[in-house]
Structure 1
Amino acid sequence: MIDAKQAAAPAPPLWPALVAMTALQALVSLALFAPGTVAPRAGISIEQLSLFSTAAFAISLVSSFWGGTLVQRLGSLRVAALCAVIVCVGMSLATFGYAWALLVAGLVLGLAAGPETPASAALLGRLVQPDKRAMVFSIRQTGSQIGAMAGSLLLPPLAVGLAPNSAYAAVIACAVIGFVGFERLRPAYAIKSEPMPYLGLRERLALVSSDRRMAALAVASIPFSGMQVILNTCYVSFGTVELGLSHVEAGWLLASAQGAGLIGRLGWGVVATRLRSARAVLVMAGVGMAVCALLLGMFGAVMSTSLLILLTVVFGLTASGWNGVFIAEIANLAKPGRVAEATGAVLTISFLGLVAAPPLVAALTPRFGLGGSFVALGVTAAAGATVLLMERSHARN
């Protein structure tokens, strides 16, 4: 039972909630991409990584259906604490080192990946003013980059210097700290939410399709999400196998992409605010990630180090920097008080990219290499940008 605050009580402050929700995303991101960062040392193949990612995001697609209901019943901070517990369980399973254990770990982590975004959207959407949403949601979405960047920098040295299990143990320690923090903050944000109807698949599709702008947003997010998950999951393996880098060097290269993505999530929010057009920003990001994927896939092996770093930074800026503006645009299109519901509905479509991209890469890589897989994903990202561009042109007519 969530206790209601008295009507006269002042609204709780935004910044502690923003920090907590950013930390939640960082924690889930760190756990989801930990196997990819230690893969060369742990002997995890692209096929195993693909199964892990597919399992995680397939379950997250299902668990996202429960996100709004869990938030309404338990509150955003209690959902965050439960996600931290799930991360502990998932990483504990990964320490067994077997392919089946990694697969089960992915299934478990999907239970955290689904509800965390609706929980954050519901809490922050209630606390922030509409004109500040793009910036606040962009800040919150940097959690994905913070988690992935920390994993890229810290987990490969742990795996090389100690053992892959030490990297998983570090993630577990972060989850324990997160659980304590979320529980300490929870009483201050235990605000009663309005009852939220359960949305099945049919209702979610109807909600998205009822608004042409939201439908275009959802469709374009499929290839964008697919590109992002493969960048985070497979780029270290791409660096060691096809670019001739060491494990640690490949980790640093991925960290540069994630650092650029972090800057991009903030920078794109500023650009969207000034242009007053999140769609234009998303089109630019889609084109940018498509060009980077095509160039890296076709010519990455023969590029100079400086050019490779530059292109990787731009890749991260676009492929990992678009999410904040995306979530803010969902919040802007949603009806008042229905932000979590709309977020869950659109993410149901978006998760298709997270689920489909890993098996696509697993199928293409044996024949065309990871470079060929990036080329294929670049084409799909260009198609996503085209969808947004066409919808924007239609809206002007």
Structure 2
Amino acid sequence: MVDGNTAVRPAPALLPALGAMTALQALVALALFAPGVVAPRAHIEVWQLSMFSCAVFAVGIPASFWGGGFIARVGSLRIASLCAAAIVVGIALASLGSSAALLAAGLCLGLAMGPETPASAALLSRLVTAERRAFVFSVRQTGNQIGAVCGSLALPAIAIAFGPAWCYAVVGLCALLAIALFEWLRPAYAGKVIPPPKLDLRARLALVTADRRIAMLALASMPFSAMQLSLNTVFVTLGTHELGLSHIEAGIALACAQAGGLIGRLGWGFLAMRFDASRMVLVVIGMGMSLCAGLLGADGASFGRMGQFAVAALLGLTASGWNGVFLAEVARLAPQVRIGETTGAVLTASYAGLLLAPVLVSAIDAAASLGAAFVTLACLTFCGTLALIWGGR
């Protein structure tokens, strides 16, 4: 098969495409993590991180929603190259250090974040059998943890030793190398395809609302995404301000969370494939992240270093481990010639949660504390889990 909606030649190998799309997500995650991880050394405040995140998702939402048709026309790997190019520009702007530059960087990175997941779903869903889809999608989603763990461990050390600008330079170099990889692989997955007719706004929305199972997936993904973003962007600040951790220790705790997410994505994907129960796995994940975030936010300072690292790992296991099973379930329920468009439409709800999360966290932080913000997010993810249960009945 080819990267499109109609097969015109035998399928190319899965592993190179899976590796490329995993690398793309790792790169996007590394770029999105960079400002939050170096924030203490670069003197970036919580409100500036919130502004950056809002800018990313303000652009990422429409880019995801409308990108499905574009993916069908130019191919997933060309989209990957364009995403990497947007990262080069965005990370160069972030290195300037001002609030305006950080805002502009967020807008550019939104162009990379929005289309990358629908592009991956459109390509991989045509190269893998339905039985293996949950696991393969989960493997691909480990890119987020790979980028996050690398960023959590390497970027603070680079910022301390050489300065924040060098952190951004490393990310930019990785993006340039990725462009070369994507363009090298692209001919093997390109082909003469016939894209389906374009969908208007109402038709795109109907891809989500016409099926209650998909609609509840979209609804639950909003608080799940908000929890994941908060873990990724403000956990280091939570650790240094409220949990009694040093900058390096907070980075280690975040790395533990992302390592847990890496294990979770593979483990949850294997369980969903083994028992053919993706929705039930998502319910278990939702319950777990609600419990861990509530404990950490309410009384995390009393756990001690090892306890904090352990709870962070469990929070990452759930809050950063759900995406692959979620996307596989969306791909399973979506019309098979509209997987890219359906994924993009569902992710619009997810990205809405990402867009609202920084505003919510900043408001609660100003009124109470970051710990209280995590407790609030725990309540919201529990409600999302209930929606999953109801939608699967």
Bin of the TM-score, shorter chain as denominator length = over 0.9
Structure-2 change in CA distance of 1:191 and 1:119 (3 Å):
same
Q: Distance in 1 between the 2:220 and 2:7 partners?
A: 41
Q: Which runs of 4+ in 1 moved over 2 A?
A: 6-10, 191-194, 196-205
User: Which position in structure 2 is the counterpart of 1:148?
Assistant: 148
SS at match of 2:321: coil
Name 1:27's counterpart in structure 2: 27
When residues 159 and 129 of structure 1 are mapped into structure 2, their CA distance, relative to the original with a 3 A threshold, is: same
1:292–1:314 contact (8 Å) kept in structure 2: yes
Does the 8 Å contact 2:138/2:323 carry over to 1?
A: yes
Q: Deviations over 1:154-192 (max 9, x none)?
A: 101011111011101110011011000001001101023
- The answer to whether the aligner puts 1:122 opposite 2:122 as a matched pair is yes
Secondary structure, aligned partner of 2:125: helix
What corresponds to 1:71 in structure 2?
71
1:69, distance to aligned residue in structure 2 (A): 2.0
Matched length: 391
Distance 1:352 1:39 in 2: 24
Q: CA-to-partner distance for each residue in 1:224-269, whole Å, 9 max, x for gaps?
A: 0000000000001111111121111111110110011011001001
CA spacing shift, 1:200–1:55, aligned 2, 3 Å: farther
Which residue of structure 1 aligns with residue 166 of structure 2?
A: 166
Partner of 2:353: 353
SS in 2 for 1:262: helix
Match in the other structure for 1:108: 108
Matched letter for residue 353 of structure 1: G
In angstroms, what is the RMSD of aligned CA positions? 1.6
Measured against aligned partners, the alpha-carbon deviations of 1:17-70 in whole angstroms (never above 9, x if no partner) come to 000000001101110111000001001111100110011011100111332122
CA deviation after TM superposition for structure 1 residue 337, in Å? 2.1
Equivalent position of 2:217 in the other structure: 217
- Give me the whole-angstrom Cα distance separating, in 1, the residues matched to 2:215 and 2:25: 25
| Unmatched tracts of structure 2, length 5 or more | none
The question of 1:262 aligning with 2:259 is answered no
Taking structure 1 as the reference length, the TM-score comes to 0.96
Flag the 1:153–1:127 CA change in 2: closer, same or farther, 3 A: same
Cα shift at 1:3: 11
| Unaligned runs of at least 5 residues, structure 1 | none
Tell me the CA shift for residue 196 of structure 1: 3.4
**Structure 1 contact 60–110 (Cα < 8 Å) conserved:** yes
Which residue pairs with 1:39 in the alignment? 39
Distance in 1 separating the partners of 2:11 and 2:386: 42
Amino acid in structure 2 at the alignment position of 1:63: A
What's the CA shift for 1:304? 1.5
CA distance in 2, matches of 1:118, 1:8: 21
Contact 1:3–1:192 (CA<8 Å) still a contact in 2? no
Residue in 2 that maps onto 1:86:
86
Deviation at 1:322, TM superposition (A): 0.2
1:316 & 1:227 partners in 2: Cα distance?
A: 10
Deviation string, structure 1 residues 301-331 (Cα, Å, up to 9, x no partner): 1212221111111000000000000000011
* Letter matched to residue 32 of structure 1: L
**Could you say if the C-alpha distance between residues 172 and 275 of structure 1 is closer, same or farther in structure 2, counting changes exceeding 3 Å?**
same
Partner of 1:384: 384
In 1, Cα distance between equivalents of 2:56 and 2:224: 18
Per-residue deviation, 1:91? 0.3
Letter in 2 for 1:307: G
Q: CA deviation at 1:336?
A: 1.9
Residue in structure 1 matched with residue 320 of structure 2 by the alignment: 320
Structure 2 equivalent of residue 57 of structure 1: 57
Find the aligned partners of 1:191 and 1:266 in 2 and give their Cα distance: 31
Percentage identity across paired residues of the two chains: 57
Answering whether residue 364 of structure 2 is matched by residue 364 of structure 1, we say yes
The reply on whether 1:307 has 2:307 as its aligned counterpart is: yes
| CA positional deviation for 1:198 | 3.6
AA at the equivalent of 2:40: P
SS at match of 2:244: coil
Answer yes or no: is the 8 Å Cα contact 1:65–1:199 preserved in 2: no
CA distance in 2, matches of 1:23, 1:8: 27
Provide, for residues 139-165 of structure 1, a one-character-per-residue CA deviation record: whole Å limited to 9, x for no partner.
001111111111101101011111011
Equivalent residue letter for 1:262? L
Q: Where does residue 14 of structure 2 map in the other structure?
A: 14
User: 1:157 matched to which residue of 2?
Assistant: 157
What is the DSSP-based 3-state SS (H/G/I as helix, E as strand, rest coil) of the residue aligned with 2:368?
helix
Any conservation in 2 of the 1:65–1:200 contact (CA below 8 Å)?
Answer: no
